[in-house]
Amino acid sequence: MSTHNSSHIKRITTHILQEMKQRGEKISMITAYDFSMAGIVDTAGIDMILVGDSASNVMAGHETTLPITLDQMIYHATSVVRGVNRAFVVVDIPFGSYQGNSSEALRSAIRIMKESGAHAVKVEGGAEIKESVVRILSAGVPVMGHLGLTPQSIYKFGTYTVRAKEKEEAKKLLEDAKVLEECGCFSLVLEKIPAKLAKEVAATVKIPVIGIGAGPHVDGQVLVLHDLLGITQEFQPRFLRQYADLRGTMLKAVGEYIKDIKAKDFPNEKESY
Ligand code: KIV
């Protein structure tokens, strides 16, 4: 992949992310699902954009990430890639498009890369999806792992509470992290696990570890854009820092627009031809 685009902005690559971990520079990551938002977060200087299957929740209104399809993920990813000049774009392979069948996993990853122009894919799980991960990597597609609370398995967990608090699950998570690193994954997301365990994982593996609800001792952080902007206000987990109240701002703006129309104040003479 070229590290330069037409406007000579140095693109983030897996190599740069690795160097950031080595020199202790924290990596910033955020989700985006469309052209306009991707352009804003890229301009703000974000290092990585995740076209998360959380699009199923925040864009489509589903209760879980399970219903979103490969075609829908490709649509979101294609829109995001068009808005980005610098950030490294990772796309979630959706539920049912990679687990248990490495040929299908490879086909899904190739479709995402070829049709969207994204830079990497993300998959949820450890040793149990090793074959799929290896197959995707063998085609030269960078893979990001995702351990801890893996929302595609929500019906197995039955709850969105903190994962790997017990010794046995913590041990398996650390082993899975090593498996993913050995396979050749370039990075790893840890979701909603104790900070102490996340610290141990980040110190054990050499690849960048990005946390969400995994404490401060990892190599970077990721949040869902709509959550940190205060668009989705019903979702208030402890790990979320809300940086804006866009829902409030939007309600006020649209309310004023409606009021001006009703009052026959909009459009005025200057706003007419
Ligand atoms: O889909 C998503 O947004 C994610 C993040 C929560 C890491 O996987």
* Cβ burial 245-260 (10 Å sphere, 16+ → b, else e): ebeeeeeeeeeeeeee
pLDDT of 6: 53
Distance from the CA of 53 to the center of ligand 1, in angstroms? Answer: 6
Nearest CA to ligand 1 atom 2: 52
Residue ranges and CATH numbers for the domains of the chain are 6-242 (3.20.20.60), 245-273 (no CATH)
Q: Residues 6 or more apart from 42 whose CB is under 8 A from it?
A: 49, 83, 84, 85, 86, 87
**128 and 134 in contact (C-beta within 8 Å)?**
no
pLDDT of 100: 84
Distance of alpha carbon 111 from alpha carbon 203, whole angstroms: 34
**220 and 28 in contact (C-beta within 8 Å)?**
yes
Is residue 187 in contact with ligand 1, taking CB distance under 6 Å?
no
Distance of alpha carbon 220 from alpha carbon 226, whole angstroms: 19
Is residue 150 in contact with ligand 1, taking CB distance under 6 Å?
no
Residue in 49, 53, 223, 229 to alter for ligand 1 test, most ligand atoms within 8 A of Cβ: 53
pLDDT of 39: 98
Residue in 189, 209, 225 to alter for ligand 1 test, most ligand atoms within 8 A of Cβ: 189
Map tokens 């070829």 to a residue: 114
Is the backbone of residue 96 left (phi > 0), alpha (psi -120 to 50) or beta?
left
Which of ligand 1's atoms lies nearest the C-alpha of 151? 8
pLDDT of 234: 85
Is residue 133 in contact with ligand 1, taking CB distance under 6 Å?
no
Distance of alpha carbon 141 from alpha carbon 156, whole angstroms: 29
Which of ligand 1's atoms lies nearest the C-alpha of 224? 3
Which of ligand 1's atoms lies nearest the C-alpha of 122? 8
Distance from the CA of 91 to the center of ligand 1, in angstroms? Answer: 10
Which of ligand 1's atoms lies nearest the C-alpha of 222? 7
DSSP the chain: --SB-TT-PBPP-HHHHHHHHHTTPPEEEEE--SHHHHHHHHHTT-SEEEE-TTHHHHTT--SSSTT--HHHHHHHHHHHHHT-SSSEEEEEPPTTSSTT-HHHHHHHHHHHHHHH--SEEE---SGGGHHHHHHHHHTT--EEEEEES-GGGHHHH-S-SPP--SHHHHHHHHHHHHHHHHHT-SEEEEES--HHHHHHHHHH-SS-EEEESS-SSSSEEEE-HHHHTTSSTT---TTPPP---HHHHHHHHHHHHHHHHHTT-SS-STT--
Prediction pTM value: 0.96
Nearest CA to ligand 1 atom 8: 52
Distance from the CA of 258 to the center of ligand 1, in angstroms? Answer: 35
Q: Residues 6 or more apart from 126 whose CB is under 8 A from it?
A: 145, 147, 172, 173, 175, 176, 177, 179, 180
10-residue stretch averages of pLDDT, the chain, 273 residues long: 62 98 98 98 98 98 97 98 98 95 97 98 98 98 98 94 97 98 98 98 98 98 98 92 98 98 98 98
Main-chain phi, psi angles of 118, to 5 degrees: -70, 170
Distance from the CA of 237 to the center of ligand 1, in angstroms? Answer: 14
Six-digit token pair at 159?
A: 């709850």
Catalytic residues: 191
